[in-house]
């Protein structure tokens, strides 16, 4: 086989990609006809592809490149650690400096008594850890029948069997089935499901589903509730203000564990280190990954409160991954946290760039296609609709319009994703005001083009 490189012609790269590479969450035969876009380099918030385009990445990769691309400090941290100690495990009573230092740093950054870290290689693995950890916790406390975990429809917690069972993506559940003892309640998506209720009424109604579910199952059967503070993959769904205080009240009342999946929200995305601070939540466990290393290395973990850690510490927890606390991943994560802290990246998000983005992003609701615009810190979404007044959906299959809009964004060199007919952004936290202006300008241009296509194809019909 010829040696492939970024200088290999794009057509050849596409051909080999289609022949051998199975892409995640992709219809690979459709992709084969179209050919993948091949990303070759990246710097700051900008990607370069094999055809010489410069693309503004308003998704920070997959919600993870918080510090931006191309930071030499991170590649050097990796290189140093690879020479000193490329690998060792933390099973069988051994440890190493990167894992020790990173767990201490995370304990310092995490709120309250979240002081203990169990490392994993990804967010999915960390949620599998959580599933086993909370059940083991209740077993160790002499309540083994307390084993049901409640998640939410349209929540996303990852793609392994455990994590996708906790999540509420029906298309995933349908491929392989889910783990027993997991239940789901509805999501707080007012735009789509709020009916005639005000957002505040709806937020309460959705939170109270948790109490109803607990009572239906029996309060002594429920181990934990897991949720993303702001749903990410579900379409950046920001719950009404009434929602989280009511969830916290219910969790407290029934003494169940709260797992906050901070995989996207953590490490500055909402303008604080963790979204639980933004929303005033008191979780027992937080799932972390993505922004922990800004995506430069695969690493995730669970940050666990004192009490749960103490109970789990009292048994041998038969669980762990070869790459739990991988030294290179830990060293890179530590360096990433150092940069976020020293360069006051999160303070700048909170005080300057997020308020600036919010103002521009929310103004998109004046566009004829945009029904609502929601944004928290550096994660936002707009709902596309044929009729804002009635919050109508399109007659075309859900996602048809969102896909058209995503394609327009792509052709305008802007990466914005769609979840059904919601368009979402989650840019690197280092995005500047000038880059925000470009983002908004390209988003508007793409919305205009989408609108023109919809009218031309007769797709403005309400469903
Ligand atoms: C991405 C994501 C995960 C899964 O993380 P992976 O690293 O892809 O396994 C879990 N939870 C949330 C909220 C996520 O966004």
pLDDT surpasses 90 at 348: yes
Burial of 441 (0-12, 13-18, 19+ CB in 10 A): middle
Could you tell me if the CB of 156 is within 6 A of ligand 1? yes
The alpha carbon torsion through 283, 289, 292, 295 (nearest 10 deg) reads -160
- Find the mean pLDDT for residues 279-308: 98
Could you tell me if the CB of 295 is within 6 A of ligand 1? no
Taking CA atoms, 450 is separated from 31, 79, 396, 400, in Å, by 22, 45, 14, 11
Q: What is the pTM of this model?
A: 0.98
263 CA to middle of ligand 1, Å? 6
Report yes or no: 110 and 286 within 8 Å, Cβ to Cβ: yes
- Find the mean pLDDT for residues 413-440: 98
The radius of gyration computed from the CA coordinates of the chain, to the nearest angstrom, equals: 22
Q: Please report, for the chain, the start and end positions of each structural domain, with discontinuous segments joined by +.
A: 38-70+344-457, 72-342
124 CA to middle of ligand 1, Å? 6
pLDDT in tens, 148-201: 999 999 999 999 999 999 999 999 999 999 999 999 999 999 999 999 999 999
pLDDT surpasses 80 at 1: no
- Find the mean pLDDT for residues 442-454: 98
Helix intervals (H) in 380-428 = 400-411
159 CA to middle of ligand 1, Å? 8
Q: Which of 365, 283, 310, 319 is nearest to 120 (CA)?
A: 319
262 CA to middle of ligand 1, Å? 9
Q: How far apart are CA 177 and CA 175, in angstroms?
A: 6
Domain topology for 72-342: 3.40.640
What phi and psi values does residue 261 have, to the nearest 5 degrees? Answer: -85, 100
Report yes or no: 118 and 129 within 8 Å, Cβ to Cβ: yes
157 CA to middle of ligand 1, Å? 5
Could you tell me if the CB of 284 is within 6 A of ligand 1? no
- Find the mean pLDDT for residues 208-229: 98
- Find the mean pLDDT for residues 28-54: 96
Shortest-distance atom of ligand 1 to CA 228: 13
Could you tell me if the CB of 57 is within 6 A of ligand 1? no
pLDDT-derived band at 320, boundaries 50, 70, 90: very high
User: Residue 44 has what DSSP assignment?
Assistant: B
Q: How far apart are CA 120 and CA 133, in angstroms?
A: 13
pLDDT in tens, 201-213: 999 999 999 999 9
pLDDT in tens, 253-276: 999 999 999 999 999 999 999 999
Q: What is the pLDDT, as a whole number, of residue 28?
A: 93
Q: What is the pLDDT, as a whole number, of residue 22?
A: 97
Taking CA atoms, 426 is separated from 230, 233, 415, in Å, by 12, 11, 10
388 CA to middle of ligand 1, Å? 32
Structure tokens at 395: 């007659």
Shortest-distance atom of ligand 1 to CA 261: 13
Bridge partner list, 285: 259, 304
Could you tell me if the CB of 122 is within 6 A of ligand 1? yes
Q: How far apart are CA 56 and CA 290, in angstroms?
A: 19
Could you tell me if the CB of 232 is within 6 A of ligand 1? yes
| Percent of the chain topping pLDDT 90 | 100
Q: How far apart are CA 175 and CA 157, in angstroms?
A: 16
Helix intervals (H) in 110-258 = 123-140, 161-166, 170-173, 190-193, 199-217, 243-254
Query: CATH number for the 38-70+344-457 domain, one of 3.90.1150.10, 3.40.50.620, 3.40.50.720, 3.40.50.150?
Result: 3.90.1150.10
Report yes or no: 378 and 345 within 8 Å, Cβ to Cβ: no
Residues 6 or more apart whose Cβ sits within 8 Å of residue 171: none
């Amino acid at each position: 086989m010829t040696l492939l490189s970024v200088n290999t012609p794009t057509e050849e790269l596409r051909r080999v990609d289609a022949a051998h590479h199975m892409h995640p969450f992709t219809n690979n035969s459709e992709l084969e006809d179209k050919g993948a876009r091949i990303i070759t380099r990246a710097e700051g918030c900008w990607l370069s592809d094999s055809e010489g385009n410069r693309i503004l990445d308003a998704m920070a990769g997959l919600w993870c490149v918080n510090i931006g691309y191309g930071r030499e400090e991170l590649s050097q941290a990796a290189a140093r650690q690879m020479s000193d100690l490329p690998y060792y495990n933390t099973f069988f009573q051994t440890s190493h400096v990167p894992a020790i230092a990173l767990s201490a740093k995370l304990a310092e950054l995490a709120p309250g008594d979240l002081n203990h870290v169990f490392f994993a290689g990804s967010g999915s693995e960390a949620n599998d850890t959580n599933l086993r950890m909370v059940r083991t916790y209740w077993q160790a406390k002499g309540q083994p029948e307390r084993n049901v975990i409640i998640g939410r429809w349209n929540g996303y917690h990852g793609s392994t069997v455990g994590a996708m069972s906790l999540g509420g993506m029906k298309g995933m559940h349908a491929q392989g089935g889910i783990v027993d003892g997991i239940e789901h309640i509805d999501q707080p998506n007012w735009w789509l499901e709020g009916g005639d209720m005000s957002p505040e009424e709806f937020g309460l109604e959705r939170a109270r589903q948790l109490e109803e579910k607990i009572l239906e199952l029996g309060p002594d059967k429920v181990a934990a509730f897991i949720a993303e503070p702001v749903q990410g993959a579900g379409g950046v769904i920001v719950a009404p203000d009434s929602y989280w205080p009511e969830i916290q009240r219910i969790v407290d009342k029934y003494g169940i564990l709260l797992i906050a999946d901070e995989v996207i929200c953590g490490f500055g995305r909402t303008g604080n280190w963790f979204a639980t601070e933004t929303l005033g939540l008191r979780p027992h466990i937080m799932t972390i990954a993505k922004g922990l290393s800004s995506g430069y290395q695969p690493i995730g973990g669970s940050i666990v409160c004192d009490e749960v850690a103490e109970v789990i510490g009292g048994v041998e927890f038969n669980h762990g991954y070869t790459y739990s606390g991988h030294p290179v991943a830990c060293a890179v994560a530590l360096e990433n946290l150092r940069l976020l802290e020293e360069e006051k990246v999160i303070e700048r998000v909170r005080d300057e760039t997020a308020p600036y983005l919010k103002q521009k992003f929310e103004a998109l609701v004046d566009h004829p296609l945009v029904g609502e615009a929601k944004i928290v810190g550096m994660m936002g979404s707009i709902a596309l609709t044929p009729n804002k007044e009635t919050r109508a959906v399109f007659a075309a299959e859900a996602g048809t319009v969102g896909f058209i809009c995503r394609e327009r964004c792509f052709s305008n060199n802007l990466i914005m994703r769609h979840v059904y007919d919601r368009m979402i952004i989650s840019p690197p936290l280092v995005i500047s005001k000038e880059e925000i202006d470009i983002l908004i300008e390209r988003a508007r241009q793409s919305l205009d083009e989408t609108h023109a296509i919809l009218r031309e194809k007769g797709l403005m019909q309400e469903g």
